[in-house]
Structure 1
Amino acid sequence: MTRRYRMADESDAKELLALTERAYEPIRRLGIHFAAAHADLDLVLNNIRKNACYVMEEDGRIIATVSIRMPWGQQPGPYGVPHIWWFAVDPASGKKGVGSELLEWLEQTILRDTLKVPFVSLGTADKHPWLIDMYERKGYVRSGEQDLGKGHITVYMKKQLRTDL
């Protein structure tokens, strides 16, 4: 079992779409309108081209993905720092710490050590039954709310990554 992390490229789009469809099925059943939950190939390609889209591979197969939107991009987060979104783990790999491992790698290797950001943000739906609690257990704190017209309130969360800046 060999895992590696890398930036996604356009050749990954179909595999990422299939992974996203599987991973976001519970979100669709909950009626939560995350863009990734209703992705098509064009949206996946747009994400790869315009954001920092990372994948975790295991034995050459993509098992998880996470993207960060940059403050200068088309959809910046609310705080002028990179904003985590489109976080998906293949359900076949779920409950094994894969998502936690990918998120920790992103936070430490990419955001803290490479980009040198003081904190990172993300947004989730107030209606989701367990995501807010999960992110709080990972060190995120609530930092704001906004109605973006998606049928739920977006809860913004931040995590401090560096205190020396």
Structure 2
Amino acid sequence: MISIRAMVSHDREIVYEMLQKTGVFSVQAINLAMEYIDAYLFNADQEEYRVVVGEEAQGQVVVFACFGPAAGTEGTSRIYWLVVTPALQHQGIGSEMLSWIEERMREEGMRLVVIEVTSEERHAAFVRFFLEQNYRQVGRIRNYFRAGEDMLFYIKYLQAEPSC
């Protein structure tokens, strides 16, 4: 069981190392994550997203996530990042954090969650994780990131899915 709280500045280096140690993220992706984190930590006016961390019983940060409402929408939210420290992956920590995030979203009246993921094989574990959490793929933009690397879109309705 993890204890989830808002990220604070002394967590920054821990999360940076966590991103590097996964061996999954490119330098550009890590830099982008750090931009989100820095905007959250050092820009008091920023309200677009939240960054949270989860600690194990000994107080060690073992997971972090960044999420928030999708700009220009009503009731749609996005998860930008959800990363578990590599040594503790596949132990339910990511699922626990995701459940916590979804509950916060429900409390805030969100009805839909959107996740964007690269199609690179090294991200296949992320895709499997979200499929196991009842997300479903609804779109693909071919060659989005570069030739041969697509962007995949996954969604989950937090309330009953509207009929068309």
Shorter chain as normaliser: what TM range?
Answer: 0.7 to 0.9
CA contact (8 A) 2:75 2:110 kept: no
CA contact (8 A) 1:16 1:44 kept: no
Q: CA RMSD in A?
A: 2.9
Residue 121 (1) aligns with residue 114 (2): yes
CA contact (8 A) 1:21 1:39 kept: no
Matched residue of 1:130: which SS?
helix
Q: Which amino acid aligns with 1:57?
A: E
Residue 63 (1) aligns with residue 62 (2): yes
Matching residue within 83, 100, 107 for 2:95: 100
Matching residue within 81, 104, 111 for 2:105: 111
Look up the match of 1:9: 8
1:60, 1:123 → 2: CA distance? Answer: 30
Q: Which amino acid aligns with 2:157?
A: Q
1:119, 1:6 → 2: CA distance? Answer: 23
2:75, 2:109 → 1: CA distance? Answer: 13
Gapped regions of structure 1 (runs ≥ 5): none
Displacement of 1:155 in angstroms is 0.5
TM-score normalised over the length of structure 2 = 0.77
Q: Which amino acid aligns with 1:136?
A: L
Displacement of 1:124 in angstroms is 0.7
1:34–1:102 distance in 2 versus 1, CA, 3 Å: farther
1:42–1:161 distance in 2 versus 1, CA, 3 Å: closer
% identity of equivalent residues:
17
